[in-house]
Every structure is written in structure tokens, then in C-alpha cells.
Amino acid sequence: MLLPAEGIRMNSTMDDINLIQQAQRHHLVVRELGEEIDLEIGHGDDDHSFANTPLMGGRPREHSAEDNDEVKNMMASSQFSNEEQDVPKTQPVKRKKKVVKRWREEWADTYKWAYVDVKEGTARIFCSVCREYGRKHRRNPYGNEGSRNMQMSALEEHNNSLLHKEALRLQMASKDKIVVDKTIYVKALMSKTAGSIVEAALKRDPHEVEFIQSVQEAVHALDRVIAKNSHYVNIMERLLEPERMLVFRVPWVDDRGETHVNRGFRVHFNQALGPCRGGIRFHPSMNLSIAKFLGFGQTLKNALSPYRLGGAAGGSDFDPKGKTDNEVALSMRFCQSFMNEIYRYLGPDKASRKILYCSNCSNDLPSEEMGVGTREMGYLLGQYRRLAGHFQGSFTGPRIFWSGSSLRTEATGYGLVFFVQLMLADMNKEIKGLRCAVSGSGKITMHVLEKLIAYGALPITVSDSKGYLVDEDGFDYVKISFLRDIKAQQRSLRDYSKTYARSKYYDEAKPWSERCDVAFPCGYQNEIDQSDAISLVNSGCRILVEGSNMPCTPEAVEVLKKANVLIAPAIAAGAGGVVAGELELNHECNLLNWSPEDFESKLQEAMKQIYQRALKAANDFGYQKESPEALVHGAVISAFLTIAQAMSDQGCV
């Protein structure tokens, strides 16, 4: 039995009101973009159950008096209109139905990129990527389906604008559900030429979130350089394509005899300056995008150092925690399987390094990274020696116990503190007495705490994946030793507060709301988002030293820049590990014997050179020393110009 026209229109009106109420409940903003999507749906194709189904879930809100008046007016208008039109009730009514009415509750969690909005009093489905709706942003609609396929076509068949591709890349790259309120960031200050470089990278690697973010930051820093010399556009495009990318399986057997497979990566990003040096990371989130982002950053970091080195990075999505009671044996088996695949790429390269170092060096110099310490590097080296049948090649880390090199593991953390001392010295200040917020609880974090205490600063926080610990009295050497014991026993940082009454552990929180003068993010990439940056500014932070690679989201960087917070970039401040690795090679090849004091003195001198190079490059391109972006841009400029010169000299290779 057909519904009367008045009933149809009343249900349609009620649906529109429900949509508007749902839009208001979810704080949706009206966008003045796009055009309407209408579908011709004949009789029998429509599902009347949609009429009374809530759009986005939740209990329906009771209509206010204004809503009821509006409904009455609409019903009266509809009745008046119907009196003028004699519509046969026996004839099927063909009407237009908006796609928005098919936005079902169960889809809300699946397609967070789409949202309901109101335009000119009518609710529509908008694409959160382009903030438009309608056929305007669909080249290949799926006809009358009006369901998931049509919603997906709105996303996948969009135009090729830089903004949309950036959003699409971020969303498709994530394995987790997309957060509806996550903003999409595109550098707005780039020139057209610099923007073309980013757009080319987006077109080539649309799903690699971390890598594209690092490219955006680097290209933004090089904007003035590229504007002065268009020749650098071609060099930058070549630089952004790694020389070699290895993706391989890593099979291993657990204690129960069951076989597992992980994915391994090794990216040789650029060797224009010399053999590759870069870390190996074992972490569940590891993927090719992260390997490329780390390799790109390592290339810039090595170029900024006093040594001629290329950049590399790699690792696996392996995590031994919780898999077995015998973590050590499991780690050894996995490292051996990992080395079985990449050992052939670590062979000696005597010709290119004989002048600079001993002939026992290689074209790939692996080093420690997240999840890979001295123990794992020893396993990797042992398997390499077993497979290659010789001791050639260089593995940074395991030899410190055998050859007597000192401060190798401390170098990165100590270098961060040396770098901020140089910044403070230019401001006629010292680090003594300053409150320092530090994130993470790994090797770098502990060594940062040690050196801060040695220079009279007051480090007050550490953190882990579940929260952060604050000690208002500050940490001392005894407390650091206790923290190391807690981490070695895989206990929670919460146990620290049971011993020290003036400390407190906060679950599911970050340390950036604590009052501080200097911040040291030493955890993971993008650990500081926009809200964290605002918290840092409100907490009195004036300097941020990047202890991890790319710790701030682009939105966070903008907040810090507007608040004139000085940023020490990771490619400069975090170069201590590179310096120590090269000093270690010189130590072994030339049989030098350095005391810890000598080693630390050489590290300080190298960090000073890096700092001065970054400032000089910034000044050459018009960035004042007091500018919050001077060191960030200067470091990238100096590193890039060094690499660009080498690439130009060597031709198109």
C-alpha cells in the first residue's frame, strides 16, 4: 500500500530535521561549497526503515517548541501544495532521495572521513577530505547504489588537488580507525616551486605518512634556497628517491616450535657523501614509510656532521615483549634470521674508504635504534661474521666492550645537552637551575638526565607508553639508577612513586603540562601534537630540544613558532651518535686510546661545529639567530647544500 504524498513529505521533513539535529549534536560546521547529490530512486527501491533510523547513533533528542512549530508550518505548506496538485494515489511515486539519508549508524565508525553537514537548511553528506559534497567531487559515481560504494567513490575518485591527496594519503596509510576530528595539515607557506616537489612526492608515495611529513618539513625549510636556484629542484627530487630499498621476510621459531614471520626493511637512502650509516629499529609499528623517513633524516644528519657519510635506516615490525619467557634467546634467533637476508649488502667497500679509514669498513654501517641495543647489535655482528666468513664491516655498538671505546651509548643524550648549552650561551644564560621536562625512559632519556644533573639542571619527568612520572624534587643519580632497575625488570614507572612520596604517576597522559623551561622529547615521532604544544607554551617552555626524530606534528611546530619557542632540530642536536660512531671507527682503525674525558671533549667540539654550521646557513638565507625557525631551517639548508654539491659533482647517478 502506497503512502499518501503528505505522509511521504512529512517523513522527509522529519528526516531533514533529524539530520540537522544530528549535525548540531556532533558540532558540525556548515560549509559553503559543492553542489547537491540527488539520486533517482524508483518505487520499491527505497527502504522505509531509514526514515526512523537515527543518523549517527545515540538517543534521539526531544523536539523543542521551535522544532514543533517548524514541523507544523512545513506540514501545512505541504498540505496546501498538495491541494493544488492532483497526484493519483494508485500511481507509484518516483522521488529523489538524498544520499545523506543512507548514512547508517554502523558506517559511522568505518568511514570517519565523511560527515553530515547542513547547507542552506538541507543536510548533506560531505567529504571531510575536500569539505565538498555532490557530483562535483566524483568523476565515476556508482549510480543508484547510494551506499558504501558511492561513499567510497566520493573519496577515491576525487580530483588531484594537493590538499586532497595529502588527506587521502594520511587516511589510507593508517591501519587504525581514522579519528574524526584529526586535522589534515598542508604547508601553506611554500612557494609554488617548493610545493611542486611535495606534490611529486605525494603522487609517488601517497600512502607513506611519516615520510611525506618529513619531506614537507625539509622542503619548507629549503624554500628560499630553491627560490634562489631552480637547479636544486631537480636535485631535491632525486634525493627524495632512495638509492636502494630492501623489503624482506624474517621467519623465526618461538620456544614452542611455532614458526612466525615478520617483515624486515633496510633503506640505503643516499651515498653521495660516503657509505651509509643508520639505525636498525625493532618496533611493531615499523614499516617502509618509517624506514624512509628515518633514512632521509639520517642522510641530512650525517651530512651536517663533520664526517662524509651517507644515510640509511631499517628494522622490522618485531616486538619480543610478551612473546616468551626467554626474551634473550628469542631476540638472538630473530637477529640471526634478520641478518641472513641483509648480510650480502654489508660487504667491504675498501676502495671508497681506504683513504679515510681502515680497509675493514663497509658500504652500510648499522647502528642502534629503538628496540635494538648493544645485545642485539652483538647478535647481528656474530651472525654476519658467521655468514661472511670474515670480520670485515662495521657495526656500531657491540665493540664497545671489546675495543675499549667509551661513551658510545651516552653520546646522543650527552650531545643533546651540549647543544642546548650552546643555545643558552648565545642568550647569555646557563642551564643550571632550569626545570627540564623529558619524555621517554630509554637509553637516550637516561643519558639526558645524567648530563642535566651534572650541569645543575632540574630534570623532573620521564614517561612510557602508558603515562608519565613527575618528581617535583627532581631526579638525582640514585633515582636514575632506580629508574634503570625498574625498566630492566619491565616494571611500570608507577612503582617509582611508591618509593618517593613527592613523585606522582599520571596514566594516559604526557609530561608537557608540567612547568618547565626546556623540553626534551625523546620518545617517538609525532609525540607532541597541537594541544601538547599549547600546554608547553602555557607551562613556560622556551626551548625544545628534539631528542627523537620528528617528535612534533606540523601543527605543533606552528604553535611553538608563533610562541617564539626555540627548536633544536634532531638532525643537529641528535648528531652525537653519529659523531661517536665515527670516533669509534677512528679509535679502532688507528689504535687511538682516548679517556672518557677526551672522548667527551671531542664530542663537545663536534656539536659546536654542527651548531655553528646551522646558524651560518640560516644567516646566509636571511633567518635571524633569534628566530624560532633559524636552527631548524639552517640545519636543513647546510645539510642539503653539502649533499647537493656532491650529487652535482658526481653527475646523474
- What's the average model confidence in pLDDT over 591-615? 85
Higher pLDDT, 385 or 317: 317
Residues 6+ away with beta carbon under 8 Å from 561: 567, 628, 629
Q: Under a CB-based contact definition with an 8 Å cutoff, are residues 75 and 13 in contact?
A: yes
Higher pLDDT, 498 or 344: 498
List the grid coordinates of 298. Answer: 639520517
What's the pLDDT score for residue 325?
A: 55
What's the pLDDT score for residue 396?
A: 58
What's the pLDDT score for residue 125?
A: 59
CA–CA dist 406, 332 (Å, integer): 25
Q: Under a CB-based contact definition with an 8 Å cutoff, are residues 312 and 244 in contact?
A: no
DSSP state of 258: -
Residue pLDDT, tens place only, 3-25: 444 444 445 445 544 544 444 44
Higher pLDDT, 468 or 77: 468
Residue pLDDT, tens place only, 83-120: 444 444 445 444 444 443 333 343 344 344 555 666 77
When mean pLDDT is compared across 81-95, 186-200, 213-227, 349-363, the lowest value belongs to 349-363
Q: Considering only CA atoms, which of 167, 162, 205, 201 is closest in space to residue 184?
A: 167
Is the confidence at residue 196, as pLDDT, over 50? yes
Grade residue 585 by pLDDT with cuts at 50, 70 and 90.
low
Residues 6+ away with beta carbon under 8 Å from 633: 221, 617, 618, 621, 623
Residues 6+ away with beta carbon under 8 Å from 114: 103, 125, 126, 127, 128, 151, 154, 155
CA atoms within 13 A on the CB side of 413: 24
What's the pLDDT score for residue 59?
A: 38
Higher pLDDT, 365 or 56: 365
Amino acid at position 371, single letter: G
Q: State in Å, rounded, how far the first CA of the chain is from the last one.
A: 75
Which of 173-182, 319-328, 441-450 ranks highest by mean pLDDT?
A: 441-450
Q: Under a CB-based contact definition with an 8 Å cutoff, are residues 465 and 527 in contact?
A: no
